Amino acid sequence: MIEVDQEEERKEILKRYRRLLKQAKPILKPGDAKLIKKAFNVSLEAHRDMRRKSGEPYIYHPLEVALVCVEEIGLGTTSIVSALLHDVVEDTDWELEDIEREFGHKVMTIIDGLTKISGVFEYGSSQQAENFRKMLLTLSDDVRVILIKLADRLNNMRTLGSMPRHKQLKIASETMYLYAPLAHRLGLYSIKSELEDLYLKYTDTDSYREIIHKINESKAYRNRFIKTFIQPIEDELNKLGFKFTIKGRPKSVFSIFNKMKKQGIPFEEVYDLFAIRIILDSEEANEKADCWQVYSIVTDFYRPNPDRLRDWISTPRSNGYESLHTTVMSNTGQWVEVQIRTDRMDEIAERGYAAHWKYKEKDHSRGTGLDDWITQVRGLLESNDGSAIEFMDDFRGNLFHDEVFVFTPKGDLKVLPFGSTALDFAGGGKMHRGKSQPKACPYLASSQKWDQVEILTSNKQKPTEDWLSNVMTSRAKAKIKDALREEKKSAILDGREIVQRKMKAMKMDFNSENVEKLRAFFELKTANEFYYRIGKGIIDATAIKSFKDFKDNLKLSSKSIQEKVRDESSFVKEIKNLKGPDHDQLLIGDDMDVVDYNLAKCCNPIPGDDVFGFVTINEGIKIHRTSCPNAVELLSNHGNRVIKARWTSQKEIAFLAGLRIVGTDRVGLINDVTKVISNELKVNMRSITVDSDAGIFEGTIKLFVNNTQHLDHLIQNLSKVEGILKVSRFD
C-alpha cells in the first residue's frame, strides 16, 4: 500500500488553486474570487476521500479542468466555477437545486448539461448516439458546456497513463472519434492537436516515440534555420515600424505521422515539419492591409508557391479562423509555411469560440460562420426525427471538411463543405438542376471554389436514394431523408394494399403468419421492407404467385447463404490451417482465457502487434491491431463489445504479413530478394508482384511470419540487398 504524505498533498492542492487564481486574475470582477473560492471549498469537501486511478487526490482533476478553461480556452468566472463543480452532482449527494441555491441558475444549467453528457460513450451504439444528440442540445443552449467538456477530456487524456490498457484504447478512440473534431470545429486548434497527439501516443506508441525523438534530434538545426530564415523579415518589419512577434514551431506529431503514412515517406522526407508565424500588433481597421503588406515583404525575400496561398482574412473559416498562409522556398531550397495574422486573429485561432465571443461582445455587428454553425446545429436537432446513429455520422462527417465558397445569382456568399454539390446549395430541396457559370451543370457536378450557382427548382422533382451519396451537408441530408421517409411510408401502404389484393385473388388468408412466410421467402428483414419493395415495383407483384413449397425454398436460401459465408471466411481458414492444432497464441478477456478467435482481415495482426478483441454479432471474436483503420470507430462506438487481448510467447505459428519494397532495377534483383526470403530465412511466400518504370521498381510481397520480431529481422535483411532503397510493412 502506498503511503500518503497528507501535508505534501495539501501544499500541492493549494499550489494548484493559487495558480488557477493567478491565471484568472485579469478577468475577475468584484466578488468573483470569493465565488471561485467557495466552489473550490465545496469541490474539495465533496471529493475529500476520493482518489484517481493514479493514486492522486481527485480534487487535482477539477482544478486542472478549471485551469484549462481559463488558461487555454479563455473562459470566465462562471465556467471556472462550473469546472470546479462539474463532478459534484454525479459523484456526491449534492443536487442541482443545491448548486442553483449556492451558485446561481447559470452555473446550475451548465452543471446539468455536463452531468447529462457524462456518459456519451458508456452504452451500445444506439444509446451512445442518443446521448450524443443530447450533448449537442447542450451546445445549442450554452456552448460553454461543450468547452468545459473538452477541457475535462483534455485532462483525462493527459493523465491516461495510469489507466489499464483496454481503457486507454477506448478513451483515446472516443477522443479521436468525437472530441478532436469538435475542438477543430470550435476553433480550438491547440487543444485539437494535443488530443490527436495523445491519441497517437496511446494507440501507436512506437511511431509516437520515434517522431518525438526525431523532432528533438533535429531541434538545434531547426532553430538555426529559423533564425537565419526570419532575420531579413525581422529587419524589414522593424525598419517599417511594425510591432510584431515571430514564432517558429514544429507541426504536431499526429500531423507529421499522417503525412508519413499517407505519402509513404520517412520523417526525413516530410518537407514542412514546422511553420513560421508572424503575429502583428495592429489596429482592427488596418489588419487586412497590414497582413498583406507583410505577405509582400516575405515574398520579396522568398519565392512563394502560388498553389499554396490561403486567404482566410478576406473570407474567414466557418469556425472564425482568420489568417494568411503561404508556402515559400528558402535560400537553401527548403519549403517553409508562413502564417501571417494579428494578435486578435491569433487569440481566436488559439482559443476558438471563447475568443470569438469576447470580440463579438465588443462589436455586436460582428458575426461569423461559428454562430451560423451553432444555429444550424440547433435547426438540425429540432428537425431531425430519424435514426440518431445516422444523425451522429452525418454530423461528424461535416466537422473536419475544408470549405468551398459559392455565390448566389444576387451575389450573396455561401460557405459549404469542400466537395459539396449543387444539391447542398439547394439544401436538399426539389432541385431540377444547378447552373454554374459559365455553363449549365448537372446536379451531380461538384462546385469549385468561388463559383456562382443558380438553382432551378421543379415541383415534379422527387429525391432519390442516390442523392444521399452526392451531398455533404447535414442539412441537405436531413431534408432528403425526410422526403425519402415520407415516400417510403406511402410506398409501404401501397405495397400492403397490393399484397392484400393478390393474396385474396390467390385465395390465401392475409394474416401475419402468411406475410411472415412471404418475408422469409424473399429473404427480407421486415414485412414493411417487403411491402415497400412491392409498392415501388422492385419485386413484381406477380412474383407472389411463385410462393410455393416455402420450406424447400427456405432451405435452398439458407444453403446459399451458408456457402457465401464459407467463401468469405476462406482467408481466415487458411491462416487457421497454418496455425495447426494449437490455439493458445492469444489470451483474451479480463481473465486472459484461451478462446477461439479470428484475425481481422482489415489489419492482419501478427504476434507482437498491440491488439484488442472485438465481439462480433455473427463471427465470434475478431482480433484487430490497435492501429487498425477501423479501431477508432469500434473502440468508441462499441466499447461494450471490446475485450482485452495479448499475445503469448508461443512460436512456430505462421501469420500473413505484407511488405512493400522500392529500389533501383537491375538484373537478378528479384532472384536475390526471393533467395533472402526463402533460402536464408526459410520464410514461406504467398505472392510477389513487381512493377518497374524508368529504372525504379516497386513490389509487394505477402509472406508468413511468426511475429513482429521475425518480420523486423526480415525487413533488415531485405534492406541490405543491393539496389533495395526501402522496405515497409503494409496491412
- The Cα–Cα gap between 654 and 578 comes to 6
Q: Parallel, antiparallel, or unpaired: how do β-strands 310-311 and 324-329 relate?
A: antiparallel
- Which among 163, 164, 160, 162 has a CA at the least distance from the CA of 176? 160
Q: What is the DSSP string of 441-456?
A: E-TTSBPPTTEEEEEE
CB 674 within 8 Å of CB 688: yes
CB 339 within 8 Å of CB 274: no
Packing angle of the helix pair 105-116, 144-158 (nearest 10 deg): 50
- The Cα–Cα gap between 413 and 419 comes to 17
- The Cα–Cα gap between 15 and 12 comes to 5
- The Cα–Cα gap between 384 and 373 comes to 16
CB 304 within 8 Å of CB 310: no
Quick one: cell of 454? 443558380
Amino acid present at 243: K
- Which among 522, 526, 525, 533 has a CA at the least distance from the CA of 498? 533
CB 344 within 8 Å of CB 311: no
- The Cα–Cα gap between 656 and 329 comes to 44
Query: 218 by DSSP, 3-state: which?
Result: coil
CB 683 within 8 Å of CB 705: yes
- The Cα–Cα gap between 367 and 324 comes to 20
Query: What is the sign, positive or negative, of the torsion defined by CA atoms of 603, 202, 119, 384?
Result: negative
Amino acid present at 548: K
Amino acid present at 322: E
Amino acid present at 640: N
- The Cα–Cα gap between 661 and 659 comes to 6
**Could you give the residue numbers annotated as active site?**
90-91
Query: 48 by DSSP, 3-state: which?
Result: coil
- Which among 46, 128, 51 has a CA at the least distance from the CA of 86? 46
Query: 480 by DSSP, 3-state: which?
Result: helix
